[in-house]
Amino acid sequence: MIMSKYDELFKYMEAHRNITDLKCASKLTPIPKGMPKERGTFLRKSLFRQCIDMQCKKDPELQKLFIAAARELLFDKLFTDSDFENIEDFKPTEQQDIAMTIVKMLFGGLFEGLD
């Protein structure tokens, strides 16, 4: 089975104790009494983001893995949210229609969905 970029990142962060450091920073973040839970969550997420940014600045390999994992997760989310699997209702612009006609003429018999 192929490991996802996120899994590679997480494995790397566990091996280099980045996850432990993030947990420690989270535990040490004081949440004032009476602060709404949402605000406390926002505060912890902000700290988490800053810690990861600092870790990435110190470790170029971590930064490379983080960018790859973020791209993979973002592209998967965009693909899912944009409903690329359901393209029957797609209405191309005139330029897109011309481009699709050219692609069909060149590659029509080679690929599924170019009929």
- Is the C-alpha dihedral spanning 87, 91, 96, 100 positive or negative? positive
Q: Can you tell me which residue has the tokens 């003429």?
A: 105
What average pLDDT does range 70-75 have in this prediction?
94
The SS3 of residue 85 is coil
Return the domain boundaries, the chain: 5-84, 86-115
The answer to whether residue 21 scores a pLDDT higher than 70 is: yes
| % of the chain with per-residue pLDDT over 90 | 44
- What is the token pair recorded at 13? 């962060």
Residue 94's pLDDT band (boundaries 50, 70, 90)? very high
* Between 25 and 60, residue with greater pLDDT: 60
Q: Is the pTM of this model over 0.85?
A: no
Average pLDDT across the chain, whole number: 87
What average pLDDT does range 99-115 have in this prediction?
74
